[in-house]
Amino acid sequence: MARLTPPPPLSIGVDIGGTKVAAGVVDETGDILDRWQEPTPSRSPQAVEDAILRAVEQLRKRHRVVSVGIGAAGWVDNDQAVVRFSPHLAWRSEPLKARLTGRIDLPLIVDNDANAAAWAEYRFGAGRGSSVMVCITLGTGIGGGLVIGGRLFRGSYGMAGEWGHMISVPDGHWCECGNRGCWEQYASGNALVRDARALARTNSPTAYQLLELVGGDPDNITGPDVTAAAIQGEPTSVELLADVGTWLGRGIANLAAALDPEVVVIGGGVSAAGDLLLLPAQRAFSRTLTGRGFREEARLVLARFRNDAGLIGAADLARHAMIEPPESAQFGFWPRRKERRATKARRRRESLRTRSQSS
């Protein structure tokens, strides 16, 4: 009897950011087999939906895909269906899953982009196999994800992991969320740019070199400029990144007091600075950690995936949703630990199908 090996289940992951819609076909080991990308069309929900559809259609022409996962910046409910609020897009209580289900005939889930990124790092990246993993995505703000005992912790209503908005400095800088002094106002790409521009405007000689690199206009300074200058050894940029790293380490010490993680994975665009960010963060973390000297310290590590984490994680979450629908999320944990039994049942079904096909 001929033995047919069923093809590996492929999923499409779509990462919707403020500037681009990036999609990819991802296999069960987290490898991206194919890609599709286009600029985020506009803030209109309809246009973004159309872009998602185009990406999925293009990739499905070339691959046999079984599910679709969408990672979006915003608060997504625990059924992985409704985007409650998205800061960069015009989604307000948007039933994204329901809208897309009518247009894409594949099982589909929607999740927060930072949750998806955390899941990718846990499954295939720097946090693989850890007991409690905290993921911190440093972009313009701070995104967060938490994996405990192999499960993504989403909170009672899907809102867990928003630690960028913990108050670090009472009455500090205003934050987009409406509060003052949030952690992400001190440890993020926006914080780096704000401080670099403020320093450049003082006309201090320490900023001359950085200013020269951007053509003399403080408003031209971007986060990647500061990182690139720091990597080249420009001292002021090194200091600015160290400041962000120090705030990062202090905040991680707060998270460690609450969660006692084994690993803290640091990803997102700002993590491109590598040790220039990580070493100051580690120093501040060790100096601030409560009970230091009498406890194990979490490892602070750089993420494996920088730009692809959201896409890979969304695809893998969608693959998991086939095994266990998100409606079964209990106490904010998802997926539950039932995969092994479900996988066995699926294998049995597949082998029966294979046998009937080959006989």
CB nearer Zn ion, residue 165 or residue 304: 165
Whether 120 and 316 have beta carbons less than 8 Å apart is answered as: yes
CB of 161 to Zn ion, least distance (A): 14
How many CB atoms neighbour CB 61 within 10 A? 7
The pair of structure tokens assigned to 321 is: 């949703």
CB of 271 to Zn ion, least distance (A): 20
Rounded distance, CA 160 to CA 147, Å? 11
CB nearer Zn ion, residue 175 or residue 315: 175
Residue 182 near Zn ion by CB under 5 A: yes
CB of 337 to Zn ion, least distance (A): 34
What torsion, rounded to 10 degrees, do the Cα atoms 70, 73, 78, 80 define? -20
Whether 119 and 298 have beta carbons less than 8 Å apart is answered as: no
Judged by CB under 5 A, how many residues of this single chain contact Zn ion?
5
Kind plus residue range of the DSSP H or E element containing 280: helix 275-288
Residue 177 near Zn ion by CB under 5 A: yes
CB of 244 to Zn ion, least distance (A): 16
Q: Angle 342-346-350 (CA atoms, 0-180°, nearest 5)?
A: 170
153: closest CA among 186, 131, 124? Answer: 131
Contacting Zn ion within 219-248 (CB under 5 A): none
| Region near Zn ion per CB under 5 A, out of 12-20, 66-74, 117-125, 163-171 | 163-171
| Region near Zn ion per CB under 5 A, out of 182-190, 235-243, 279-287, 309-317 | 182-190
| Region near Zn ion per CB under 5 A, out of 75-83, 96-104, 160-168, 242-250 | 160-168
Phi-psi region of 215 (alpha: psi -120 to 50; beta: other; left: phi over 0): left
Residue 165 near Zn ion by CB under 5 A: yes
CB nearer Zn ion, residue 179 or residue 220: 179
Residue 191 near Zn ion by CB under 5 A: no
For residue 300, what are the β-bridge partners? 264
Q: Is the peptide bond before 335 cis (omega within 30 degrees of 0)?
A: yes
CB nearer Zn ion, residue 182 or residue 314: 182
| Region near Zn ion per CB under 5 A, out of 32-40, 61-69, 169-177, 269-277 | 169-177
CB of 148 to Zn ion, least distance (A): 24
The one among 135, 175, 266, 284 contacting Zn ion by CB under 5 A: 175
| Region near Zn ion per CB under 5 A, out of 29-37, 46-54, 171-179, 302-310 | 171-179
Rounded distance, CA 126 to CA 114, Å? 15
For β-strands 83-85 and 75-76, DSSP reports them as antiparallel
Residue 151 near Zn ion by CB under 5 A: no
Residue 142 near Zn ion by CB under 5 A: no
CB nearer Zn ion, residue 175 or residue 270: 175
CB nearer Zn ion, residue 177 or residue 302: 177
Whether 2 and 358 have beta carbons less than 8 Å apart is answered as: yes
CB nearer Zn ion, residue 102 or residue 178: 178
| Region near Zn ion per CB under 5 A, out of 106-114, 164-172, 201-209, 311-319 | 164-172
DSSP 137: E
| Region near Zn ion per CB under 5 A, out of 43-51, 74-82, 158-166, 235-243 | 158-166
The pair of structure tokens assigned to 106 is: 């594949």
Rounded distance, CA 281 to CA 302, Å? 11
Q: What CA–CA distances, in Å, run from 68 to 75, 119, 183, 354?
A: 19, 15, 33, 25
Residues at the contact surface with Zn ion, assessed by CB under 5 A: 165, 175, 177, 179, 182
